[in-house]
Each structure stands twice: as structure tokens, then as C-alpha cells.
Amino acid sequence: MKKISNRHFLLIHSSIYAIFGIGLFFCPNLLWPSYGVQLNDQYAVFLSQHNSIFLGGIATISFLFRDIENKSILAQKLFKGLLWTNILGLIITLYACLSQIFTGFGWSDPIFFLVLSVLSYFKLKDNQ
């Protein structure tokens, strides 16, 4: 199986986070109900938009580091940070599903974070 380059992995990672960040900022009332979450007031909408700060930040960091050298200390730290970010996403969204905060399409989130965690783990191993 061909290994994906750091550049391509980081571009894909960045794009995924950017798409969700933009979606949760501009279309929270469209996206959250598919996860079983209702936005009942302006404060809930704002919290969704506030969450976009972090999604956009991760997208930006992934994009800016797309040309990072293979097997460098910096690459190892970057992929370790992305791995832990995705593991935290997995834990939090799995909790949301198990406690029935997320329903319906909500189960896609833990799967999404699991896939990104596994891919980040392999990129970390490739860079050691």
C-alpha cells in the first residue's frame, strides 16, 4: 500500500476541518439537527460559530505545515498534536452519542474522529 505524503495528508486534514468549520459557522441550523441537536436560541448558534474558531485553527495549522520535512522533530510533534486532537474528538463525540446527545447522523462523528486518529497515528509512525 502506497503511503500518503505529509503534504497530501495535511491538505486533506486541513480541508476536512475547514469544511466543517465553515459549515458550523454559516449553516449551524442546517447541520446540527442532522446530529439530533437542536439550536433553540441565539446563544446555541453562537456556541456553534465559536466552535468554528478551533476547527478553522486546526485547518489553518494543518495547511501552513503542509510542507513539513519528513521524519523531523517538528513533524513528529505536529502529528502527535493532531493525533491527540482527534482522540479528544473521538472521546467527546462518543460520549455525546452514548449519552444520546447526538442521534441519527451523530454516530458519524466518532467514526470520523476514529479514522482521523488512525491516520494521524500512521503519519506519526511514518515520521519517526
Split at pLDDT 50, 70, 90, the class of 60 is very high
Convert the pLDDT of each residue in 87-114 to its tens digit: 999 999 999 999 999 999 999 999 999 9
pLDDT of 2 over the 80 cut: no
- The long-range contacts involving 102-110, CB below 8 angstroms and separated by at least 24 positions, are 102/35, 102/36, 102/37, 103/35, 103/36, 104/34, 104/35, 104/36, 105/34, 105/35, 105/36, 106/35, 106/36, 106/37, 109/35
